[in-house]
Amino acid sequence: METKFNLLDYDQDGLKEVIKSVIGDSLDLTPYRLRQIFQWVYRRRVKDFSSMTDISKKLREALAESFEITLPEIIFSQNSVDGSRKYLLKLKDGSEVESVLICQPTRFTLCVSSQVGCAIGCKFCRTAQMGLKRNLKVSEIIGQVMAVQEDVWSRGERGITFDDPEAQAPFQNIVFMGMGEPLHNKDSVISTVKILNDEHGLNFSGRKITVSTSGLIPAIKEFGESSARANLAISLNATTDEVRTEIMPINKRWPLEDLLETLRQFPLKAGRRITFEYVLLAGVNDTDEDMKRLPVLLRGIPAKINLIPYNSNSGLGYYPPEAERVQIWQKTLLSKGMNSTIRWSKGMDISAACGQLATESMRAKKKLEQALAA
């Protein structure tokens, strides 16, 4: 069977190129026409070219012949007592990824995956145990956002429906912190962010999107030079090369000094900061010396530090410090003038917390629920 191009794989520039290469120059493919196609797909959620009524019949037929619009399929979802929800999504080749809708007091955030598994091998992370299966395509990342939006609309939760998506978005923020290292799949992630930013696409402000990385220096530079608008977060987690290399082997290739120098040069917009995620692992990276070293290391970088007490349910032999110790960390950083917050993990009861995404746990839950229902 002949496979079609998924239209969701392309930002506007990419779409123009691919349509030209597949269909040829004969059709009326002005920037206005491209914007119309985007609006049908992303704003009106039309999946069938014949419904795009203000586009010429010839173009609609040509598009239908070579293109399709398909989202990953939500095959299971699980609610947390804290209001968060984890989704298991099936891709066209049968692979599965997870997305998490995180409920916070004043907003909802969607955490998306960028790879099936991950090659980076952080010792405290369950996704690392899967190894890297493959990169996700743009359609499989943007498709997570669209599939979850459509799921929330169809449930009518919080009074949110598709009828007024502008006024009632199911979530306001998107973080690339699910399965995978986003900048290991840089090209797809950059195109996805462009579609998110596009006012005719999903229309998310760059301030509301965060791309997290373990510190792939060349990709950080490319990301900074691209026209994709998003915040950058660095998964730091240590203040010495010795400890960082032990828990994040990627540090051997791109050590702390080089990483921090790259970040000092990163083209930040005025008033913006780089977020540093610091997963606190008791007895590993939470010493008094670490507390003193961190503000010194980050000198010269407009920084915000997110302290994340480790999620003890991981089964990987790491544990969080006592809550009191976490508070001491925050107070100390604040006293040094560092912008610092504590991120208590959400969705812990459904293994949706940071570093816990690994599809086999969710598949097992699904099977158990099916067996109980039978």
Residues annotated as part of the active site: 98, 354
Helices 256-264/217-225 angle, 10° precision = 10
Does residue 118 touch ligand SF4 according to CB under 6 A? yes
What is the greatest pairwise CA distance in the chain? Answer: 69
Stretch that binds ligand SF4, among 53-61, 65-73, 176-184, 258-266 (CB under 6 A): 176-184
CB-based contact 346:80 (threshold 8 Å) = yes
Three-class SS state of 174: strand
- Nearer to ligand SF4 by C-beta: 142 or 316? 316
- By the rule CB under 6 A, 181 interacts with ligand SF4: yes
Q: What residues from 276 to 315 belong to the interface with ligand SF4 (CB under 6 A)?
A: none
In the complex, least distance from residue 95 CB atom to ligand SF4, rounded to whole angstroms = 16
Gap between the Cα atoms of 178 and 190, Å rounded: 16
Minimum CB separation from ligand SF4 for residue 316, in Å?
11
Closest distance to ligand SF4 from the beta carbon of 176 (Å) = 10
Region near ligand SF4 per CB under 6 A, out of 96-104, 118-126, 259-267, 306-314: 118-126
Q: Is 97 in the site for ligand SF4 (CB under 6 A)?
A: no
The dihedral through the CA atoms of 117, 123, 125, 130 has a sign that is: positive
Torsion on CA atoms 275, 105, 336, 298, rounded to nearest 10: -10
**CB nearer to ligand SF4: pick between 123 and 229:** 123
Burial degree of 296 (CB within 10 A; 0-12, 13-18, 19+) = exposed
Q: Give the per-residue contact string, 56-75, with ligand SF4 (x = CB under 6 A; - = no).
A: --------------------
Q: How far is the CB of 122 from ligand SF4 (least distance, A)?
A: 3
Query: Do 8 and 141 contact (CB within 8 A), yes or no?
Result: no
169 interacts with ligand SF4 by CB under 6 A:
no
Three-state SS string over 233-261 comes to EEECCCCCHHHHHHHCCHHHHCCHHHHHH
Cα–Cα dist 321/308, whole Å: 10
Specify the residue, 89 or 128, whose C-beta has the smaller distance to ligand SF4.
128
In whole angstroms, the minimum distance from the beta carbon of 214 to ligand SF4 comes to 4
* Residue 86: CB minimum distance to ligand SF4, A: 15
Give me the 349-368 binding string for ligand SF4, x by CB under 6 A, dash otherwise: ------x-------------
User: Cβ of residue 126: shortest distance to ligand SF4, in angstroms?
Assistant: 8
Between 165 and 180, name the residue whose CB sits nearer to ligand SF4: 180
Q: How far apart are CA 194 and CA 206, in angstroms?
A: 9
Question: How many residues form the binding site for ligand SF4 (CB under 6 A)?
Answer: 13
Stretch that binds ligand SF4, among 38-46, 121-129, 201-209, 297-305 (CB under 6 A): 121-129
**Contact between 193 and 118 (Cβ < 8 Å):** no
| Contact indicator for 263, 220 with CB cutoff of 8 Å | yes
**Three-class secondary structure of residue 130 per DSSP:** helix
Q: Which helix (H) or strand (E) holds 367?
A: helix 359-373
Under the binding rule (CB under 6 A), the answer on residue 215 touching ligand SF4 is no
221's tokens:
């530079």
Q: Does 125 bind ligand SF4 (CB under 6 A)?
A: yes
Helix (H) or strand (E) holding 103: strand 96-104
- The answer to whether 127 contacts ligand SF4 (rule: CB under 6 A) is yes
Residues forming contacts to ligand SF4 in the complex (CB under 6 A) are 118, 120-122, 125, 127-128, 179-181, 214, 235, 355
